[in-house]
Amino acid sequence: MTSQHTNHRWLAVCLGIFLGMLSMNAAAIDPATVKGTFSHGGKAYALKHVYAWQPYAQTEALWIYLTDAEVPAAAAKDLFKPAKLAREGRFRGVRFVINPTKTDLSKLEADIYAGEGATVTGSGVSLWQHLRVGDKRVVGKVKYEDRDWSLDAEFSAPVFGSSGNMQTLTGAQAQKSPQAEVFLAYEKAFYSQGTDAASAYMTPERLDVLTDYIKQRGVEAVKKELGALGKIVPQGEARRKQIEKVVVDGDNALLKVRSKPTWVEEFRLAKTKDGWKIAP
């Protein structure tokens, strides 16, 4: 991997931290159940909790947590917080990412939580012995093993998250939407005034993520990262034209920006009493 490619990848990660990049309401009567074992680094953990979350405004992503201790619902909905809690020793386990409308029994994509968050992808025959999504519930049985980790589990859980009633805006309609206006103002504040000014456009949850990131990286390092990002991200009308789609899902929305022909970024927003805000 070239140094230039590595730098671009790092900047993309920073952009996600700064700007909030990002994947069914509960009506099930039956409680969630799980049994099995997750192993990593020579240690085995009995699975005691399962939680399924479908990110707002997304139809192709469903997150399934199988863990040895409960992951708070507020953290389970966030892209970054579970890894932080795992580093603090709060739980061990795995988060699967599946397509609820087109399940693939031969594909496994997962985030491993074993002290350090690490994304791995595996594929093969019969990774999933069973996987069904429907009626706001997911049921599955999976067995996987490689040199770093293994999992043998069976679970059933209600699916929380997306309302399932979505409105898709494209073209000029998306670019002039309330969500687009907030997004553009948010980026402008970040690059021209810094993190304090941008906080006015964030939900408290998104601000918590940013605050934690600044503590880890340091104020000066974050300023340098913002400076580097400011040089590669267009502003104003040029940025507006890159807004490709806005999907509104109740009081939540997903805004998609095509920064380059092959690079699409996703930003989640939530409607608050003060209007739309950038959310985790």
pLDDT score for 192: 87
Contact 235, 191 (CB under 8 A): yes
Query: 272 and 154 in one domain?
Result: no
Cβ–Cβ under 8 Å, residues 277 and 182: yes
Q: What is the CA radius of gyration of the chain?
A: 19
The reply to whether 72 and 137 lie within a common domain is yes
Model confidence at 23, pLDDT cuts 50, 70, 90, reads very low
Q: Are residues 107 and 63 in the same domain?
A: yes
Question: Per-residue pLDDT averaged across 45-66, rounded?
Answer: 92
Q: Which of 20-24, 58-62, 99-103, 218-222 has the lowest mean pLDDT?
A: 20-24
Confidence grade of residue 5 (pLDDT, cut at 50, 70, 90):
very low
Judge if 138 and 236 occupy the same domain: no
State how many domains the chain has. 2
On whether both 217 and 257 belong to a single domain, the answer is yes
Q: Which of 29, 30, 83, 26 is nearest to 52 (CA)?
A: 26
Do 139 and 226 share a domain, yes or no?
no
Residue 187 has pLDDT above 80, yes or no: yes
- Residue range 71-85: average pLDDT? 89
Same domain, residue pair 197 and 87: no
User: Same domain for 67 and 140?
Assistant: yes
Tell me: do 52 and 111 sit in the same domain. yes
Structural domain includes residue 247? yes
Confirm whether 1 is domain-assigned.
Answer: no
| Six token digits for residue 184 | 């553009």
Q: How far is CA 276 from CA 77, 269, 270, in A?
A: 18, 6, 6
User: Of 161, 193, 216, which one is at a domain's C-terminal end?
Assistant: 161
- Residue that terminates a domain, selected from 131, 161, 191: 161
3-state secondary structure of 117: strand
Q: Is residue 108 situated within a structural domain? A: yes
Residue 26's pLDDT band, with cuts at 50, 70 and 90, is very low
What percentage of the chain has pLDDT greater than the value 90? 48
Cα-based distances in Å from 93 to 35, 38, 43, 61, 166? 12, 6, 11, 19, 32
- What's the pLDDT at 121? 53
In a domain, 14, yes or no: no
- Tell me how far apart the 2 most distant CA atoms of the chain are, in Å: 54
**Which pLDDT score, from 0 to 100, does residue 274 have?**
94
3-class SS at 268? strand
Q: What pLDDT, in 10s, does the model give residues 200-223?
A: 999 998 998 889 888 988 989 888
Q: If you write DSSP's letter for every residue of 185-251 in order, what string do you get?
A: HHHHHHHHH-HHHHGGGB-HHHHHHHHHHHHHH-HHHHHHHHHHHHHHS--HHHHHTTEEEEEEETT
Same domain for 209 and 91: no
Residues 118 and 207 in one domain: no
**Residues near 258 by Cβ (< 8 Å), separated by ≥ 6?**
242, 244, 264
pLDDT, residue 48, reads: 98
| Dist. CA 3–CA 86, nearest whole Å | 30
* CATH classification at residue 271: 3.10.450
pLDDT of residue 15: 56
Does residue 58 sit within a domain?
yes
Which of residues 130, 161, 192 is at a domain's end?
A: 161
Give the residue-averaged pLDDT of 64-79.
93
226 domain residue, yes or no? yes
177 and 144 within one domain: no
**What would the mean pLDDT of 130-142 be, rounded to a whole number?**
92
Report pLDDT for 12. Answer: 53
Q: Residue 124 belongs to what domain range?
A: 33-161
Residues 118-135, mean pLDDT to the nearest whole number: 70
